């Protein structure tokens, strides 16, 4: 008993099936590419904002420490808000500077710079859109400073600093 069964050769993929598979892969690939591009933009945005925040916070802490420990506050001398501001202090006396050293904070070419008689001029924040200084009280001596970065998004910090030694 022999059955005449023919085995069929495996059937290939039709053109329609092939086009459908290519279309599905293309749609999925495009969706993944869009998601990865969005993640890259978010990563860059977060890095920029974090870097700006760190620069502003570090400058703020540096100014805060120097103003709190200053032996004299020269500029600003009045209660007017100065923008762009200049803040000039005299540090406590130390070795080599028996009368204290002069430290000035100001905006130069869009950067917040610290000019210290002992160390020279240093950029403490690159890209500053606002640095305002106002003497808000004379007894006790208080200064209000505002620092705003020129980044997108802008980072702004405002602080009222009391001078401990004045």
- Residue 2 has φ and ψ, to the nearest 5°, of -115, 130
- In tens, the pLDDT along 51-79 reads 889 999 999 999 999 999 898 888 888 87
DSSP 8-class letter at 79? S
**138-150 average pLDDT score:** 89
Whether the bond into 140 is cis, omega within 30 of 0: yes
Distance CA 15, CA 1 (A): 40
Neighbours of 43 (CB within 10 A): 10
User: What confidence score (pLDDT) does residue 107 get?
Assistant: 93
């Amino acid at each position: 008993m022999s059955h005449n069964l023919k085995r069929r050769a495996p059937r290939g993929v039709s053109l329609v099936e092939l086009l459908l598979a290519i279309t599905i892969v293309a749609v999925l690939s495009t969706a993944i590419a869009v998601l990865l591009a969005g993640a890259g933009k978010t990563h860059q945005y977060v890095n920029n904002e974090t870097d700006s925040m760190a620069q502003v916070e570090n400058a703020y802490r540096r100014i805060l420490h120097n103003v709190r420990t200053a032996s004299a506050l020269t500029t600003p001398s009045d209660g007017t808000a100065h923008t762009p501001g200049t803040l000039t202090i005299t540090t406590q006396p130390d070795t080599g500077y028996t009368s204290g050293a002069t430290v000035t904070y100001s905006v130069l070419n869009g950067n917040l710079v610290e000019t210290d008689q002992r160390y020279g001029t240093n950029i403490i924040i690159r890209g500053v859109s606002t640095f305002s200084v106002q003497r808000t009280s004379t007894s006790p001596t208080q200064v209000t400073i505002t620092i705003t970065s020129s980044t997108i998004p802008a980072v702004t910090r405002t602080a009222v600093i009391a001078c401990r030694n004045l």
